[in-house]
Amino acid sequence: MPIALAIATLLVIVVSSYFQTIRAYPKGGGAYIVARENLGLYAGLLAAAALLVGYILTVAVSISAGVAAITSALPALYPFRVWLCLGLIAFIMLANLRGVRESGTLFSVPTYLFIFSFYLLIVVGLVRYFAGGVPVARAKAVAIPTVQPVTVFFILRAFASGCTALTGIEAISDGVPAFKPPEAVNASKTLLWMGGILTSLFLGITMLAYLYGVVPSKGETVVSELARIVFGNGPLYYLIQLATVLGLTLAANTSFADFPRLSWFLARDRFLPRQLMNLGDRLVFSNGIILLSVLSSLLVIVFHGNTHALIPLYAVGVFVSFTLSQTGMVRRWLTRREGKRWWLSAAINGLGALTTGMVMVIVAVTKFAQGAWIVVLLLPIIIAMFLEINHHYRAVAAQLSLEGVQELPSLSASKVIVPVAGVHRGVLHALQYARSISTDITAVCVDVDPAVTERVRERWPQWVSDIPLVTLPSPYRSTLEPLMDYIEQVEQNNGPDDVITVLLPEFVPARWWHHLLHNQTALLIRMVLHYRRNTVVINVPYHLEK
Amino acid sequence: MPIALAIATLLVIVVSSYFQTIRAYPKGGGAYIVARENLGLYAGLLAAAALLVGYILTVAVSISAGVAAITSALPALYPFRVWLCLGLIAFIMLANLRGVRESGTLFSVPTYLFIFSFYLLIVVGLVRYFAGGVPVARAKAVAIPTVQPVTVFFILRAFASGCTALTGIEAISDGVPAFKPPEAVNASKTLLWMGGILTSLFLGITMLAYLYGVVPSKGETVVSELARIVFGNGPLYYLIQLATVLGLTLAANTSFADFPRLSWFLARDRFLPRQLMNLGDRLVFSNGIILLSVLSSLLVIVFHGNTHALIPLYAVGVFVSFTLSQTGMVRRWLTRREGKRWWLSAAINGLGALTTGMVMVIVAVTKFAQGAWIVVLLLPIIIAMFLEINHHYRAVAAQLSLEGVQELPSLSASKVIVPVAGVHRGVLHALQYARSISTDITAVCVDVDPAVTERVRERWPQWVSDIPLVTLPSPYRSTLEPLMDYIEQVEQNNGPDDVITVLLPEFVPARWWHHLLHNQTALLIRMVLHYRRNTVVINVPYHLEK
């Protein structure tokens, strides 16, 4: 109970702090933006890295917990929990890819169901307890050897719930523009309501668990045990479990809005691949959604759907970003001194920063061996990745830039090489094209099969009199190597800036499976030449009808 | 025992029949060639289909049996039997890819070990039995409810061993040219020796099993039990098991020579993909070897390493090809009437055809429900596949043929379209190339991001004054669709035989992982245009230095 009260206090402090942030950043102020703007680039990147990790962990932890609610109600499904998790993640992913974010009504039903059924559980549980009609303590508690691990476990579980709630708060702050106008006012209202509901639910459930002496066990969740004691095995029990699953799915779903949005900010600032900026035809950041699904699914698979081990990581990550965000706000108030009561705002954010910072340090130190070290290791790696990506984009921009360019060197399709493997319509078609772009054409035939080469040499003068045919010996029956050697040789006779054009005659079969029946030599040549300097590749396809 | 004698007789008959085949086809006469030449195309394809299936099953059955010998000696490995099978198949595959077929000495040691140790087992077993020093019957036999299933099982096991031996015989006949000269004489000698050794080993082991009352059980093979009774658990027992594994590995290995060779014949005659004709730099048919490994590995995985269920399939397939081969030989003798004693040869092959044909019918009928139906279904499907592939190759050849072609229509790079996403060195580089091949160039910019498009439109006249820039609206933020629509539109103004050239400026990053940081739009455009008629694609890469 004291821990629960502490966490409730924490929730109140964080909510008040974020209240300030929403007022200051009506256009959306996530930890990344607040920290970057007020504390500098590195603090921003640190907050962003911690948040990205936090979002991935939110999905993995929420979905695992949701599936734990399912398997508590239906223990026969326990062996399939990883598949259930993956299925649930895939479902949320598809819903988000189809743009479910816009349809708010779809979400209001499960949200109200969740809030309503949990309040019901708390009220009925308290009434029954004080009426004295239910068996209070259960034998299970005896089996626990010492108090220490249980307490630790409780603290962690509590943190997990708390953190999920806190991520929701960050989500509101990050996504202010998505609210109905006046955005900042509505966002603040939502924040207050959400904070209030979460705090009261959290306190209620913890009190019930304390009163009934329920302790988490491996096969069953605390809420499931509580609901079983309070409601029996009737339909109300299943309602509670259903509400838990839906509630946790919604918790995971917030990450599906936030992760792509933060990725977009980072991609815009060139710290993540620019593909994360692509807006699909349904106006969602498809790549971010898919990336989040893949990463959280991997976590679920690696941890076999038991994600308790991830909770310390999660807590550290989330509190790092909170602390940075709040510190950024303090700095902002101190620098700007806007409004009359800037000192009050600064004090509130200062308290928030201090509290979350303390929690962060406590979790990181006490849980260092249990997994917090992973975050300590991971965050610098992610930041290094951000910086490396940024460096690459800058280098590309510099290399492509036209700054100071007076005139580009001229370039022409002077020398054309046409690899041929036979004398047929496809090849003659390609040679016609070659004739239209150059007068210096050479056909080459790699001698992989002497019988084939002989046939080509025989028929060549009959059909092509104006283009010389060079036969390349291939002692090891490779097509590619002799061709590359020949191109090299031609290039040596060229000037250093001259370009070599390789024209590939290719016939395109009528059906996709026909590809399986033909050597993919042209594809291979194209791939290798792509990485060759001063080489232009032309594909002249000849389409078969059947 | 009577069944064993019957199988031994069968072996003798088949060996004599194949003796004739080798004499008649000194250049190698597999069932496919013999049946096709003497009985027509469809008989040949039927024999080939049956043989291909047989080779795949040989590998799966032999390797599974070899691994069963390992797990009999080391029961702790039983749960890993599928992995052991896959590992063994992978090992044989790699050995064959490296061209192990040439190094005969590598194989002679295990072969001699196998023959020697099995004769030792038989001799010691018989001596001990008649000296009366070993417990004869074992309690296990009591547990069997009726005689029927055991007998059936025994027959099938016996057939399996017999068939493996028979496949070896087909292998000799198929691969006559691989022997030292005089090829036919040496192949015949080998055939006789092999037949004699296999017959005597088979009879010996069956007699021992009968005398000692050993019956196959799930965890242990017959040979393992026999060896345990005769030699105890000493080193000789492990020698026998090792010899079994090596022997069965060699049996599987014969398929690795025969499957690629038969595939080559079929690919040469255009009934299988021509890739199976490719001779690697180590002079082996790599693709055939890999295909066989993949297919037999799939069988092992599907049947969890317990391939007893495959034995009826196996028997039917093998005997189909034998019967066709022998019938083909009879037809040959009757048609040609070569040599003095052609009637004797015809009689021997006739007896072979009759015997194997009878066995085939008996197995197919009695085992129809247990899996023989799969073969009855599978063989026509494979033959249909052969014919479909053949049809495709003929259609391609006809379409590419220059038969009756007087003059090809002229073709030129008249209209060039250059998609651009920015004004930078890479684009200007590509435009230089475009200018060298055509005077009718249009640059197009798909308006996915209005800010980017605006920037391109602003900078274009500054850098490119001679080439018009067309902006394509993209309401659904797709790059591909507006571009394809535009090309369509340009084409409608063209003559039907005119070609459109799409020139793609592409920058090539310095490191492979940099690709992950850029949209692969050019790749996508290239892929889609490949399937478009009358469209030539030119790639002008601009190589980044870092």
Check residue A119 and give its pLDDT: 86
Residue A29: pLDDT band with limits 50, 70, 90: low
Check residue A172 and give its pLDDT: 65
Hey, is the C-beta of B278 within 8 angstroms of any chain A C-beta?
yes
Local structure of residue B385 (DSSP, 8 states): H
Residue A207: pLDDT band with limits 50, 70, 90: confident
To the nearest whole Å, the CA of B25 is away from the closest chain A CA by 25
DSSP string, B474-507: -TT--SHHHHHHHHHHHHHHS-TT--EEEEEEEE
Check residue B137 and give its pLDDT: 45
Residue B295: pLDDT band with limits 50, 70, 90: very high
Looking at per-residue pLDDT, the higher value among B111 and B300 belongs to B300
Q: Report which of B293, B303, B299 is spatially closest to residue B255, judged by C-alpha positions.
A: B293
Instruction: Closest CB to A476: pick one of B281, B437, B508.
Output: B281
- B283 sits in the region (left: phi over 0; alpha: psi -120 to 50; else beta) called left
Q: What is the mean pLDDT of residues B364-387?
A: 86
Q: Does the pLDDT at position B154 exceed 50?
A: no
How large is the C-alpha radius of gyration of chain B?
A: 32
Hey, is the C-beta of A433 within 8 angstroms of any chain B C-beta?
yes
Q: What is the mean pLDDT of residues B253-276?
A: 88
Instruction: Closest CB to A540: pick one of B429, B507, B536.
Output: B536
Q: What are phi and psi of A278, to 5 degrees?
A: -60, 130
Looking at every residue in chain B, the average pLDDT score rounds to: 81
Q: Which residues of A touch B281 (CB under 8 A)?
A: 476-478
Q: Do A280 and B477 touch (CB under 8 A)?
A: yes
Q: Do B509 and A279 touch (CB under 8 A)?
A: no
Residue A144: pLDDT band with limits 50, 70, 90: very low
Q: Which domains, ranges and CATH numbers included, belong to chain B? A: 2-394 (1.20.1740.10), 415-543 (3.40.50)
Q: What is the mean pLDDT of residues B490-497?
A: 78
Q: Does the pLDDT at position A383 exceed 90?
A: yes
Instruction: Closest CB to A429: pick one of B396, B411, B516.
Output: B411
Closest residue in B to A476 (Cα) is B281
Q: Do A426 and B400 touch (CB under 8 A)?
A: yes
Q: Do A273 and B516 touch (CB under 8 A)?
A: yes
Task: Give me the count of residues in chain A.
Answer: 546
Check residue A419 and give its pLDDT: 95
Q: Does the pLDDT at position B74 exceed 80?
A: yes
Check residue A505 and give its pLDDT: 92
Q: Are B349 and B330 in contact (CB under 8 A)?
A: yes
Q: Does ipTM come in above 0.90?
A: no
Q: Does the pLDDT at position B314 exceed 80?
A: no
Cα A439-A443-A448 angle, rounded to 5 deg? 170
Q: What is the mean pLDDT of residues B515-536?
A: 87
Q: Six-digit token pair at A43?
A: 């603090």
Looking at per-residue pLDDT, the higher value among A239 and B152 belongs to A239
To the nearest whole Å, the CA of B203 is away from the closest chain A CA by 46
pLDDT, tens digit, for every residue of B36-62? 888 899 999 999 999 899 889 888 888
Closest residue in A to B416 (Cα) is A437
Instruction: Closest CB to A423: pick one of B275, B402, B517.
Output: B402
Instruction: Closest CB to A477: pick one of B275, B279, B531.
Output: B279
Q: How far is CA B102 from CA B168, B172, B283, in A?
A: 17, 15, 10
The residue written with tokens 């974020």 in the block is A18
Residue A128: pLDDT band with limits 50, 70, 90: confident
Q: What is the mean pLDDT of residues A25-49?
A: 85
Q: Does the pLDDT at position B460 exceed 90?
A: yes
Q: Report which of A345, A470, A351 is spatially closest to residue A418, judged by C-alpha positions.
A: A470
Closest residue in A to B270 (Cα) is A517
Cα A87-A93-A95 angle, rounded to 5 deg? 105
pLDDT, tens digit, for every residue of A184-197? 777 777 777 777 77
To the nearest whole Å, the CA of B97 is away from the closest chain A CA by 15
Q: Does the pLDDT at position A301 exceed 80?
A: yes
Check residue B348 and give its pLDDT: 85
Q: Does the pLDDT at position B150 exceed 50?
A: no
Check residue A138 and give its pLDDT: 46
For A:394-423, CB contacts with B below 8 A are 395-396, 399-402, 405, 408-414, 422-423
Q: Six-digit token pair at B401?
A: 């043929």
Cα separation, A254 vs B242, in Å, equals 60
pLDDT, tens digit, for every residue of B465-490? 899 999 999 888 888 899 999 999 99
Q: Do B396 and A507 touch (CB under 8 A)?
A: yes
Lowest mean pLDDT among A257-266, A342-351, A400-409: A400-409
Looking at per-residue pLDDT, the higher value among B406 and B298 belongs to B298
Q: What is the mean pLDDT of residues B492-513?
A: 85
Q: What is the mean pLDDT of residues B355-381?
A: 83
Mutate to test the interface with B, among A423, A539, A545 (most CBs of B within 10 A): A539
